[in-house]
Amino acid sequence: MTEDSLQIADAVVQAAKGTRLNVFTCWLGQSTVMDARDEFYQAGVPSFFSPEKAVMAFMQHVRHQRVQRLLTETPESFTDHYADRSHTRRVVLKALRAGRNHLSNQEARELTADYGINTIDTMYCDDMEEVLEAFAVERRPVDITIIHEQACQPFVKLSPSQRRYKGTMQKLNGEPAIIDACRYLMEEYRLHFPNSGFLGFAVQYSYQHVGGVEFSVGITRDPLFGPLVVCGASGAEINVTTDRQIALPPLNMVLARELLRRTYMYKLLKENSLQPDEDVRAVSETLVTLSQIVIDIPEIQGLEISPLLFNEQGAVAVNIAISVCDQPSQPIIQAYPRELEEWIVLPKSGRRVIIRPVLAQDEPAHRAFHELQSPESIRYRFFQYRKHFSREDVAQMVQIDYDREMVFIANAPREDAEGEETLGTVRTWTDADNLQCEFAVMVHDKMKGEGLGVALMQKMIDYCRARGTVEMVGNVLPDNRPMLQLAEHLGFEVKYNLEEEVMDLRLVLNEPEKDWQRERLGKSSH
């Protein structure tokens, strides 16, 4: 039996060597098959003791491949990186200077509306008399909500009695009904929240045509991971914490949809919505926007939209609460560094070009840029001829961690069509100690002589010097005269590497301050 097992194992190993497919085995038994299992181990073929463990391992591999494909999908361009929202940030800072740890209901609505999130039209009143005056303007049915300090805090944990609290009265059509409603709301507020300061009433016209599956979306903080985007169920009838899913900002539309798909409410939305695709997009856009809000305003400690409903324009934020903190929190994943964008004018053609960090959605233009290059330019850049760049190849070029790698691209409006085209790119890879960075640069063949290579390299040199990198290095083929001339112009030290048969380039950006830095750099120079 042992001999038969070894023969079978040897046959499986030989078959595995002859295929590019992943092969794994399930070898039932104990002592009689140990030699066969050892044969698999030596050959690097996975072997499992039971079918269940084999299936679990296979599914883990399937999930890994799925996540990898998801991460390389090209996201849609949704967030407006160019909008000026300095006013919104001033609202938050004003609240902090006033000693408040939350925004008022009105401030919270203005902030989210400024980022393009739809909200219900709301009038704010200090007392019952002002509520009656607001109703008298159009004498239409209104909904009245009482506002107090605790209601302006997101993700408040309520006691069992507070969960029975009713803070809104709906479809009030007449002064007597409004007076009774305001008095009732005040009684409820004093009973359940006696220590929460009264802030007034919010009045909304009834029948604003919002409805559908109720979502709770927002922002919270984790002591280790910083800001988190949350998504899940809303409503008093369900335990919202059981459906609360989280994701790390910054989000794009691909990641936002994946966050939404992990919630139970996503299933309900697909089953019950009259326009499920449009509603899925609306919630995803809201999640991306929340991600951008916390990146732009790191003083936001928490933000809750509950519920998030729908109308013909998309998602609508009904109730909004925002808390703030004078200790800003940055995402653990570095966000798109918008402050590094720069417009230049090329001296020869007068063409306006933006030099900016690469974005994941630049993948189509980046791929076209590489495929339009001459074979010689490709050889200079990649040290070999390449005729084809797959979507996965280019996705890895544009989906980067800005903390460990930087890519600046030069983009300009297309001269023959709509959209932008990529005219040049420069990238650096920086080691974990921020000691050395290795660069690579390439400019579109039609842009040679425009000075674009100098502009891209100088942009990268300034960036790496400012972040404290000690030196920049690179390799150039000996016959790449344009790049060698550019390097000499920028002050690089150029030496021939006899072993690798390339030209080594080195530029000191900052003087090393510590002994270990000088020692490491001394060894690398040899």
Give 405: exposed, middle or buried? Use CB within 10 Å, 0-12, 13-18, 19+: middle
Domain boundaries along the sequence of the chain: 2-71, 86-205, 215-324, 338-525
Lateral strand order in the sheet of 123-125: 123-125, 198-205, 142-148, 168-172
Q: 86-205: what CATH class?
A: alpha beta
| CA 507 to chain centroid | 33
Write down the pTM of the prediction. 0.75
Domain 215-324 in CATH 3.30.470.20 = yes
Topology agreement, domain 86-205 and domain 215-324: no
Look up residue 508 and give its two tokens: 């000191």
Q: Are 71 and 399 in contact (CB under 8 A)?
A: yes
Give the integer Cα–Cα distance in Å for 20 and 39: 19
- Would you write out the chain's pLDDT as a tens digit for each of its 526 residues? 445 777 888 888 888 887 878 888 887 776 667 777 788 878 888 888 788 888 888 888 887 777 666 666 655 555 555 566 778 888 999 999 999 999 999 999 999 999 999 998 899 999 999 999 999 999 999 999 999 999 899 988 777 777 778 889 999 999 999 999 999 999 999 998 999 999 999 999 987 777 888 899 999 999 999 999 999 988 644 554 567 899 999 888 888 999 999 999 999 999 988 899 999 999 999 999 999 999 989 999 999 998 899 888 889 998 999 999 999 998 988 888 888 999 999 988 889 999 999 998 898 899 999 989 999 999 999 988 887 888 888 888 898 889 889 999 999 988 777 788 999 999 999 998 999 999 999 999 999 889 999 999 999 999 999 999 999 999 999 999 999 999 999 999 999 999 889 999 999 999 988 888 888 887 666 5
Please report which residue ranges of 298-373 form alpha helices under DSSP H.
363-371
Domain 338-525 in CATH 3.40.640.10 = no
Q: In 3-state terms, what secondary structure has residue 69?
A: helix
Give the integer Cα–Cα distance in Å for 150 and 165: 13
Closest CA to 154 of 326, 333, 305, 348: 305
Residue with tokens 């391992």: 57
User: What one-letter code names the amino acid at 298?
Assistant: P
Beta-bridge mates of residue 343? 354
